[in-house]
Amino acid sequence: MTIVEILSTLDGSKASSKTAKRHGIVFRLKRLPIGLVLAWIVIATVLLWAAAPGLFTAYDPLQGVPGGQLKAPSALHLLGTDSLGRDLYARIVHGAIHSLSGAIAAVGVGLVAGTALGLIAGSVSGRTDAVIMRFVDVLLSIPTLLLSLSIIILLGFGTVNAAIAVGATAVAGFARLMRSEVVRVRRAEFVEAAFGSGGTFWRVLWRHILPNSLTSIIGYTAVQFGWAILQLSTLGFLGYGAPPPTPEWGLLIAEGRNYLATAWWLTAAPGLVVVAVVLSANRISQSIGRTSQ
C-alpha cells in the first residue's frame, strides 16, 4: 500500500470511530428513563434561574406596578402578580438563588460535620464510637422541625441561620450512613493489605477507607438537597427564614395563602416549583444510588 492509501485508511478508521462514539452516546441518552431526563431538566433550569435570572425575566422582583395588583396569569405576566403588583414569575426566578444557596449551605454543614463524625466513629471504634453514636441517637430522637426552630431561636432569624439550623438536623443522617460505610470498608481485604504492608492508620484512612466510603454519601447528598429545600421553605413559610420582601420560595407561599380564594396562583406556583425540585432531586439520587451499587 502507498502512503496515501495508508493515510486515507487511517482517516477513515478515525471517522468511523468518531461516528461510533456519537451513535453510542445517542443510544445511551435514548435509554435514559424519561423521569430522570425531566429531573435533570428541572434542576438545570432552576440552577440557571439562580445563576442568571435576568435571562429569564425582565421584571424587578421587588418593584410593584400601581394598579397591577392580583392580576391573573397572562401573556404579560406568566404567573400573574401579587398583592403589590409584583410579577410572580420574576419573584420565583429571583428567589431561586436564595432557596438554592440556603439548601447548598445546609447540605454542606450536614455533609462535613456528619461525615467527620461518622468517619471517626467507624474507624476508631471503642468508647469514642459509643459516645459519638449516642450523640447521634439524641439528634435523631428530636423532630427535625423542632430542632431547627430551636437553633434558629438561639442564632436569630435569617437565611444563613436557617441554613445552619437545617444543616444541623442533617448531621445525624450523614454520620450514621458514613459510619456504616466505614465499618464495611474496614473489613475489606485491600484495607487489611494496606495495613499489612506498613501503612499508618491515618494514611490508610485517607487513601483507602475514606474514598471507598463516599459512594453512598453522594447519593444521600442529593436526597438531602431536596429535603433541605423543603425544610427551608417550611421555615420561610413559618416566618423564620428570609425576611420580606426577599423572594424566597417558602415566603412566597406564605404571602399567597391569604388570597387562595381570589388569587390561587400566588400559592400554587411557588408550591409546585418546590415540589418539582424536591422530586427531581430524589429521582436523581435514586439514579446515583443504582449507579454506585
Strand partners for 81: 87
Distance of alpha carbon 46 from alpha carbon 275, whole angstroms? 12
Q: How confident is the model at residue 80 (pLDDT cuts 50, 70, 90)?
A: very high
Neighbours of 46 (CB within 10 A): 22
Question: Does pLDDT of 36 surpass 80?
Answer: yes
Distance of alpha carbon 56 from alpha carbon 95, whole angstroms? 13
Q: How confident is the model at residue 14 (pLDDT cuts 50, 70, 90)?
A: low
Judge if the upstream peptide bond of residue 245 is cis by omega within 30 degrees of 0: yes
pTM of the model: 0.81
| CATH fold for domain 100-292 | MetI-like fold (1.10.3720)
Q: What is the mean pLDDT of residues 61-77?
A: 89
By CB atoms closer than 10 A (0-12, 13-18, 19+), residue 4 is exposed
Distance of alpha carbon 26 from alpha carbon 174, whole angstroms? 36
Question: Does pLDDT of 293 surpass 80?
Answer: no
Which DSSP string do the residues of 184-212 spell out, in sequence order?
HHHTSHHHHHHHHTT--HHHHIIIIIHHH
In the chain the first and final C-alpha atoms are separated, in Å, by 50
Q: What is the mean pLDDT of residues 241-255?
A: 89
Q: How confident is the model at residue 27 (pLDDT cuts 50, 70, 90)?
A: very low
Q: How confident is the model at residue 249 (pLDDT cuts 50, 70, 90)?
A: very high
Q: How confident is the model at residue 25 (pLDDT cuts 50, 70, 90)?
A: very low
Tell me the average pLDDT of the chain: 85
pLDDT, tens digit, 9 for 90 and up, residues 144-203 = 989 999 999 898 888 889 999 999 999 999 999 999 988 888 877 887 787 777 777 778
Query: How far is CA 276 from its chain centroid?
Result: 13
Distance of alpha carbon 112 from alpha carbon 168, whole angstroms? 11
Q: Give the model's pLDDT for residue 1.
A: 54
**R_g over Cα of the chain:** 25
Amino acid found at 282: N
Contact predicate 95/253, CB 8 Å: no
Q: What is the mean pLDDT of residues 31-60?
A: 91
